[in-house]
Every structure is written in C-alpha cells, then in structure tokens.
Amino acid sequence: MSPFTGSAARTSDWRHLRCEITDGVATVTLARPEKLNALTFGAYADLRDLLAELSRERSVRALVLAGAGRGFCSGGDVDEIIGATLAMDTAQLLDFNRMTGQVVRAVRECPFPVIAAVHGVAAGAGAVLALAADFRVADPTARFSFLFTRVGLSGGDMGAAYLLPRVVGLGHATRLLMLGEPVRAAEAERIGLISQLADEGGADGAARTLARRLAEGPALAHAQTKALLTAELDMPLSAAVELDAATQALLMTGEDYREFHAAFTEKRPPKWQGR
C-alpha cells in the first residue's frame, strides 16, 4: 500500500477496538469480552481502516491480533449484524459483504506480518480473521468453527473458500466449510491450521514473542515475502519465477542487503533498517 496520504488526518481514537504500538509491534485487541468479541459493523470498519493507516505510516513491522476475555472472536454479532441484515436491501447487503472482504484483503495486503493470537472460540468471521493472518499462534483451548452454512449461508464467506484450501488442503477445507464443526487445537495443529501451539494461557505471550522476532528482522524482506506469497497463489510458475527475479534484483540494491554482507564480514549481527 502506498505511504502517500491526502488531507485526512491520522485517527486518534479507535472506538471499536484497542490498538497499542510499542517498538514497531502493534497489538490490536478485539475488546468486547462480554460478547466473546462479537464483531459489529463498526468493528469491521475500524479494523479495515486501522490496517490501511498502519500500512501507510510504515512504522509498524509486525502486528498481533488478539481477543480480550475468554475467547478470540465469536464472529458477527447475532443481534447487531445478523438481525440488522434481515432489514437490508440487496445493495446494502452487497456493501456490507464487500466491507468484510475488504478486512480480509487488508490483513493479507498490509506490508507487515500479522499474527493471530487465538484462545477459546474463533468462530465464523473470527475464524476467517485468524485464517487470513500470516501466523496463527493458539493455545490448547482454541477451537475454530467456520459456521456460515449453519446460518444458511455459503461457507465461502470473506474469502474462506480461497484461503482455507491453500492452508489445509481441499479435503479438509471442504469438510470444515460444509459441516461447520469445531476444530480443536490438536486437530488444527495436525492439519496445518495452527502455526504454533502455545501452552495454555500463553497464546498472547507467544504471539508477542514471535512479533518481536519479526519486528527485529529485515522488515522490507518480510514485506516482499508476504507480498509474493499472496501474489503467486494464482500465478503460473514462469510468471512467479520472473516476479521473484525482479523482486530480488530490487532488494539487492537495498541497504539491508549491503548490511548483511558488512555484518558477515565483520562477524557481528546485522543492524536491519528496513530499507
């Protein structure tokens, strides 16, 4: 995403989530614990807009997405979203569904790694948010449920039918999206849905540790790796190899590439600049 901005000022107060930034690591917390962090229209919009702002500012090098209280996210709020959508016309429904998809695109397209810290329930849209992240760090209490068919909708919501087969394979994805049954941590780790299984109660801490490791590394190399992983999902090999070559040629002109060589020669750790 381009760092250039227009007249809009930086948002000073996010009403529907919490955001803290320390030494290049952003921690974004879904903060409706009394509702298992069920998403509202405002929460979707805030998350979409926050990711866009952080992407433009380029001060964040890693982001942890977490949920307050007993679980990660129980999905869309039954009263505030599902009930409300029953009164919407087709144009309004399309606007809403496009917005939820924009959140997933923002997670995939932001130029820094996103780590979902999952404990307890990650259901519906909450499961897709975790799926869209680059890493899913979960504790043994985590359970993922793609519930869309359970409410009479397609399991392919918010890009789930695109992302899930690429993470766990078509067979597992078909089962999870068709049946909507919960996948507990042990099975999620076995099929590749979890990147790292933490100790009970330790998902947030393990996610922050991973975020710090990423933030201290070569940020530009991480950004380009993420961009290539997303872009090359649908490319033939010849196009992917050419894009890899162009990307590497550009990075080889950067300061971080020169810094690695200097650090190797001087037998010291590199001092990454993200340039």
Q: What is the pLDDT of residue 1?
A: 62
Q: Which two tokens stand for residue 186?
A: 């042990």
Q: Write out pLDDT tens, residues 22-37.
A: 999 999 999 999 999 9
Q: Write out pLDDT tens, residues 165-206.
A: 999 999 999 999 999 999 999 999 999 999 999 999 999 999
Q: What is the pLDDT of residue 174?
A: 98
Q: Write out pLDDT tens, residues 67-116.
A: 999 999 999 999 889 889 999 999 999 999 999 999 999 999 999 999 99
Q: Are 133 and 114 in contact (CB under 8 A)?
A: yes
How far is the C-alpha of 139 from the C-alpha of 122, rounded, in Å? Answer: 12
Q: Nearest-CA neighbor of 270 among 227, 229, 220, 223? A: 220
The pTM score is 0.94
Report the percentage of the chain scoring pLDDT > 90.
91
How far is the C-alpha of 24 from the C-alpha of 220, rounded, in Å? Answer: 13
Q: Write out pLDDT tens, residues 1-23.
A: 667 777 777 888 899 999 999 99
Q: Is the pLDDT of residue 130 over 90?
A: yes
The DSSP call for residue 29 is E
What average pLDDT does this structure show over 263-272? 94
The DSSP call for residue 39 is B
Q: Are 115 and 67 in contact (CB under 8 A)?
A: no
Q: What is the pLDDT of residue 272?
A: 94
What average pLDDT does this structure show over 205-212? 98
